[in-house]
Structure 1
Amino acid sequence: MHGEYKVPGGKLVVVDFEQRDGRIADFHLAGDFFLEPDDALGAIDAAVTGLPVETDAAGIAAAVRGALSAGAQLLGFTPEAVGTAVRRALVTAPGWGAFDWEIVHDRAVSPRLNLALDEVLTTRVGAGLRNPTLRLWEWDESAVVIGSFQSLRNEVDSDAAARHGFDVVRRISGGGAMLMAAGQIITYSLYVPASLVAGMTFADSYAYLDDWVLHALRSLGIDATYQPLNDIASPQGKIGGAAQKRLANGGVLHHVTMSYDMDGGVMTQVLRIGREKLSDKGTVSAARRVDPLRSQTGLPREQIIARLKETFAGLYGAAEGRILDEEYAEAEALVASKFATEAWLHRIP
């Protein structure tokens, strides 16, 4: 068995081993990481050898951690990364390069149609009807997008939203409410098969699927980092947040919204962001939690989007694609039957 896992923001972890009688045998760890002292490598190999093949990533990490001597230093990787690499080997998970990727950046559409396209395209990728795809969104109007499990009345001041020209819609993924002013945010979605993130914990997959965007932002001079569970940030503040939805047919939706030019005053009027939400953020104002990309780069929004597409294509060999007429039609029908209905919007009052 052979498995690889590139630690987001870190190094490559490679594992090779045999399966014998339901256990891991002849385990060997390799990679471009740093490890001190040298004999820690043998200790890790010995700790994993003999584990049942059903051992999860956390159990493998615990075995690795228990085998390390006091003062051992792992640089560029963690015991959890070893566990992930082993699990990926056992499920023969492919890497990014195993797929033919498309990048889609189509015309501006309504918030509801954007949300419906997420469900349609994720379903089609899961069914093998579309290549894995990166889609950059464009909006023709502003919206507050609440998470699948949020209470509408607890999260949004509907009167303030209407006063400031924001429609209110609900997406299929979890997470928090996002204020999405047309032309003032950058949103992208990844539609991928579940095999790409096989062997990873749900939390690890967030960082894995957004590692490429950190490369893009850093190339623009932003010291971008990933803050678990789902934030992209810099020393100047939060840049954006991610959310996921996994479908039964094997399609995975991972989408991210980053602020380009946020009006913090409007955000605090429209969103009901309470003290509990901010209690672990070290800030006294929700407006101060978001630092837009424009202030950190000085670049037009279009130029930042161009760099995102350029970086993704350079890393994974993606080709330019488009949304098919039949996919738009399917999404329009889903808007009518689901995303534009009161039942969907108010399913959690």
Structure 2
Amino acid sequence: MHGEYKVPGGKLVAVEVEVNDGRLSDVHVSGDFFLEPDSALEDIDAALVGMPTDAHADQLAHAISGALAPETAMIGFSPQAVGIAVRRALGKATDWHDHVFDVIGPVTMDPVMHMALDEVLPAEVAAGRRAPTLRFWDWDSSLVVIGSFQSVRNEVDEDGARRHGISVARRISGGGAMFMEPGNCITYSLVVPSSLVEGLTFERSYAFLDDWVLGALEELGIRARYVPLNDIASDVGKIAGAAQKRFASGVVLHHVTMAYDIDADKMTDVLRIGKEKLSDKGIASAPKRVDPMRSQTGMPRDEIIAAFLRYFRQHHATHTSAYTAPELEAARRLVETKFRTPEWTHRVP
């Protein structure tokens, strides 16, 4: 059995394995990585022989680490990367190419509906009623979206929000606040089975799931990089922030918001943003616009989204899809019973 894993920003690891009586009986690791000394490759192979086929990637990595001399240098890969490749060879973990993705382009609606769909669609993917899905948001009103664990009064100037007619809603994933007005951001959600990130730490899963958009940005002329834990940045500064929610049903929600052209003056009137966060967002002084995607590409927002969709379709098996009537109805119910209720919005006052 054959498995491969491409380390984000690193090298390819390939593994050939044979199994006997529930254990690895023969293992050969290869790839375009660098390893010193050469003999360490034999030590890696030997460390995996005899390991049970139900061992997790971190258990396999622990066995490899224990077999290597302290002076061993693994360049472009790691014991964890080998463990993931083994899990893929055994069919325990999946790769991008193992899935056909539903792709849904921007549909303009209440932004709170998009937040509700981020709860509905993972349930649909887990139930097998929908394939793994990439979808782009579009919205018709302004909203401050706070992270699942943020305090409303610490993050939002509610007087400022009322003055500008901007409401507040809480999403199901962690992370920081998003200032969303029509046309000022580019937001997408990716819903995938947990098998796609099996064996990856939370930090590595962010880099892995963001890797495709780094390629899309490069085609647009932006040299972007992943910045732990959950940011995408260029040489000019931060472009985007990501957040995740992992469901017990075996599905991962990963969504990203990129600043296209934000009114920084209004944002600082609505959000309680300290000097450190202002610097992180690339705001030297207000009033100013936060516009990394507009200024660095020189492209209209809809053309950037179209380029992202085109890149994803070129590199992955996809099916053009749309929201179903039951999905939209389930989202509407969640908007009324959860996302617009004070009990949810102010669950952390």
How much does 1:5 deviate? 1.5
- How far apart, in 2, do the equivalents of 1:308 and 1:211 lie? 12
- CA deviation vs aligned residue, 1:239-268 (integer Å, no higher than 9, x gap): 111111122322321111111113333333
Q: What is the aligned length?
A: 343
Are the structure 2 counterparts of residues 46 and 265 from structure 1 closer, same or farther at C-alpha, using a change threshold of 3 Å?
farther
1:139-154 matches, cutoff 5 A: 139-154=139-154
- How far apart, in 1, do the equivalents of 2:46 and 2:264 lie? 53
Which AA in structure 2 matches 1:72?
A: A
Are the structure 2 counterparts of residues 314 and 285 from structure 1 closer, same or farther at C-alpha, using a change threshold of 3 Å?
closer
Are the structure 2 counterparts of residues 250 and 57 from structure 1 closer, same or farther at C-alpha, using a change threshold of 3 Å?
closer
> Do 1:161 and 1:270's aligned partners in 2 also have CA atoms closer than 8 Å?
yes
- CA deviation vs aligned residue, 1:167-196 (integer Å, no higher than 9, x gap): 211111111111122201000011222222
Secondary structure of 1:302's counterpart equals helix
1:228-307 matches, cutoff 5 A: 228-274=228-274, 278=276, 284=279, 286-288=281-283, 292-307=292-307
> Do 1:127 and 1:250's aligned partners in 2 also have CA atoms closer than 8 Å?
no
How much does 1:19 deviate? 4.2
TM-score, with length taken from structure 2: 0.88
Larger CA deviation: 59-68 vs 127-136 = 59-68
Secondary structure of 2:186's counterpart equals strand
Q: Could you list the runs of 5+ residues in structure 1 that have no partner in the other structure?
A: none
> Do 2:40 and 2:72's aligned partners in 1 also have CA atoms closer than 8 Å?
no
> Do 1:91 and 1:198's aligned partners in 2 also have CA atoms closer than 8 Å?
no
- CA deviation vs aligned residue, 1:214-236 (integer Å, no higher than 9, x gap): 11001111111111221111121
- How far apart, in 1, do the equivalents of 2:152 and 2:113 lie? 20
> Do 2:222 and 2:297's aligned partners in 1 also have CA atoms closer than 8 Å?
yes
- How far apart, in 1, do the equivalents of 2:301 and 2:183 lie? 8
Secondary structure of 1:305's counterpart equals helix
> Do 1:156 and 1:270's aligned partners in 2 also have CA atoms closer than 8 Å?
yes
Q: Could you list the runs of 5+ residues in structure 2 that have no partner in the other structure?
A: 285-289
1:46-125 matches, cutoff 5 A: 46-51=46-51, 56-65=56-65, 67=68, 70=71, 72=73, 74-75=75-76, 77-90=77-90, 92-125=92-125
Which AA in structure 1 matches 2:73?
A: A
1:132-211 matches, cutoff 5 A: 132-211=132-211
Which residue of 2 is the match for residue 17 of structure 1?
A: 17
Which AA in structure 2 matches 1:306?
A: A
Are the structure 2 counterparts of residues 6 and 109 from structure 1 closer, same or farther at C-alpha, using a change threshold of 3 Å?
same
How much does 1:273 deviate? 3.3
- How far apart, in 1, do the equivalents of 2:268 and 2:3 lie? 46
Are the structure 2 counterparts of residues 249 and 69 from structure 1 closer, same or farther at C-alpha, using a change threshold of 3 Å?
closer
Secondary structure of 1:149's counterpart equals coil
Larger CA deviation: 317-326 vs 48-57 = 48-57
> Do 1:24 and 1:51's aligned partners in 2 also have CA atoms closer than 8 Å?
yes
- How far apart, in 1, do the equivalents of 2:58 and 2:195 lie? 19
Secondary structure of 1:129's counterpart equals coil
How much does 1:135 deviate? 0.4
Which residue of 1 is the match for residue 287 of structure 2?
A: none
Which AA in structure 2 matches 1:203?
A: E
> Do 1:241 and 1:257's aligned partners in 2 also have CA atoms closer than 8 Å?
yes
Which residue of 2 is the match for residue 126 of structure 1?
A: 126
> Do 1:237 and 1:291's aligned partners in 2 also have CA atoms closer than 8 Å?
no
- How far apart, in 2, do the equivalents of 1:145 and 1:221 lie? 29
- CA deviation vs aligned residue, 1:105-146 (integer Å, no higher than 9, x gap): 142111211111111111111111112111010011121111
> Do 1:203 and 1:229's aligned partners in 2 also have CA atoms closer than 8 Å?
yes
Which AA in structure 2 matches 1:218?
A: E
Instruction: Give the alignment's Cα RMSD to 1 decimal.
Output: 2.5
How much does 1:84 deviate? 2.4
> Do 1:87 and 1:200's aligned partners in 2 also have CA atoms closer than 8 Å?
no
- CA deviation vs aligned residue, 1:33-83 (integer Å, no higher than 9, x gap): 3445533322322333345556543454455456156373513x2333223
How much does 1:332 deviate? 1.0
Secondary structure of 1:108's counterpart equals strand
> Do 1:188 and 1:255's aligned partners in 2 also have CA atoms closer than 8 Å?
yes
Secondary structure of 2:112's counterpart equals helix
- How far apart, in 2, do the equivalents of 1:26 and 1:321 lie? 43
- How far apart, in 2, do the equivalents of 1:233 and 1:63 lie? 35
- CA deviation vs aligned residue, 1:270-306 (integer Å, no higher than 9, x gap): 222347xx4xx8x856544976211111111111101
Which AA in structure 1 matches 2:196?
A: L
How much does 1:7 deviate? 1.5
Are the structure 2 counterparts of residues 68 and 268 from structure 1 closer, same or farther at C-alpha, using a change threshold of 3 Å?
farther
- How far apart, in 2, do the equivalents of 1:286 and 1:241 lie? 10
Secondary structure of 1:137's counterpart equals strand
- How far apart, in 1, do the equivalents of 2:29 and 2:299 lie? 43
Which AA in structure 1 matches 2:75?
A: L
- How far apart, in 2, do the equivalents of 1:89 and 1:203 lie? 23
> Do 2:93 and 2:195's aligned partners in 1 also have CA atoms closer than 8 Å?
yes
> Do 1:267 and 1:287's aligned partners in 2 also have CA atoms closer than 8 Å?
no
TM-score, with length taken from structure 1: 0.88
